[in-house]
Amino acid sequence: MSKSFRSNESRTILAAKLLLFIALVYTLIPLPVKSSSTISPSHFDAVRAFTYAKEAVAFGERPSGSAANLKLRQWILADLKPLGGQLSTDDFTGHTPTGPLEMENIILKFPGTSGRSIAVTGHFDSKKIPMVHFLGANDGGSSTGFLLEFARVAAHMPHQDDLYIVFFDGEEAIGEWSQTDSVYGSRHLASKWASDGTLAHLTALINVDMIGDKDLDVMNDGNSAKYLRDKTLAIAARLGYGAYFHKEPAGIDDDHMPFAEAGVNVLDLIDFNYGPNNAYWHQASDTMDKLSAHSLQVVGDVVVALVEDLDSQKK
């Protein structure tokens, strides 16, 4: 073996040892892990929204006036408080077919400077159904999870308009759905905001309901303002989500209607085709396994873009 070969061999061994040392050092240094906290504040995190929905459903059946409903409200308030903004509750008595029930809407407001406002709303209560263990994963759970995540996004969203995030109590009928036995929370708040002047500044109300279905199929609600429906379809198409939104209109009654009747431009985003022939609606089968984070992502991206668009048009 020549001297030059030994020299080359020594350099090779030394280089190998150096690379081994560097590799060992890197194994000891913790690499950053991508988590929900590293996601851009303006990005709607559907995994987080799905987790919120799961945690809400874990409270069990939570009809208005129940102990579980109260615990859920306390949990929502605790989660919203660190976001800042103006957090308040809207307590009222719902006059139901079975007697008075104490109910409570939850309202988070991020003030703007334009003198106008936009509201994003949904309900957190579940329906009490005799002989059915109804958890309402999609019907009540998905909107709760959605709104909690949207509130996080709104806390960091540049905006000129006031942004309201409203959690309605009492959306579900105590008995059979009627004009007087349904949407207790939204009926109360629409009346209250009409009296105190808030309604006059509300340029759009976007309501979400049953938007977690794995087989997402969002209605084009004929009772909603056409220009908001058209904007939604255009945004969905731009984001590549057009297939999830119906083009043909069909009307539905939901928490947006008291505001529509008061003259507010409203939009109801609801998938009222839940399971084969709507088989999961108001059934024990409305459970978390029927939901998808992807569906929440679709609606979340569209709503965030819509709110940004509505606010930016007034600059």
Under a CB-based contact definition with an 8 Å cutoff, are residues 147 and 122 in contact? yes
pLDDT in tens, 130-152: 999 999 999 999 999 999 999 99
Residue indicated by tokens 């903004």: 85
Model confidence at 28, in pLDDT bands (50, 70, 90)?
A: very low
Model confidence at 19, in pLDDT bands (50, 70, 90)?
A: very low
Per-residue model confidence (pLDDT) at position 46: 97
Per-residue model confidence (pLDDT) at position 312: 65
Per-residue model confidence (pLDDT) at position 16: 46
Taking residues 158-169, what's their average pLDDT? 97
The amino acid at residue 7 is S
Per-residue model confidence (pLDDT) at position 246: 96
Taking residues 156-162, what's their average pLDDT? 95
d(CA 139, CA 124) in angstroms, rounded, equals 8
pLDDT in tens, 45-74: 999 999 999 999 999 999 999 999 999 999
pLDDT above 80: residue 290? yes
pLDDT above 90: residue 27? no
Model confidence at 13, in pLDDT bands (50, 70, 90)?
A: very low
Under a CB-based contact definition with an 8 Å cutoff, are residues 221 and 268 in contact? yes
* More confident site: 287 or 41: 287
Q: Is domain 44-312 classified as CATH 3.40.47.10?
A: no
d(CA 164, CA 108) in angstroms, rounded, equals 6
Beta strands, E only, the chain: 86-96, 99-110, 117-123, 162-168, 202-209, 218-220, 245-249, 266-270
Write the CA distances from 148 to 5, 273, 276, integer angstroms: 68, 24, 29
Longest dimension (CA), the chain: 102
Residue 133 sits at φ, ψ, to 5 deg, of: -85, 85
The amino acid at residue 269 is L
Under a CB-based contact definition with an 8 Å cutoff, are residues 245 and 233 in contact? yes
Taking residues 21-41, what's their average pLDDT? 38
pLDDT in tens, 249-282: 999 999 999 999 999 999 999 999 999 999 999 9
Query: Could you tell me the two tokens for 57?
Result: 């459903």
Per-residue model confidence (pLDDT) at position 42: 63
Helices and strands of the chain, counted as H and E runs: 8, 8
Per-residue model confidence (pLDDT) at position 32: 34
Write the CA distances from 21 to 26, 27, 167, integer angstroms: 9, 10, 56
Q: Where are the domains of the chain?
A: 1-31, 44-312
Model confidence at 7, in pLDDT bands (50, 70, 90)?
A: very low
Under a CB-based contact definition with an 8 Å cutoff, are residues 217 and 290 in contact? no
Query: 3-state class of 209 per DSSP?
Result: strand
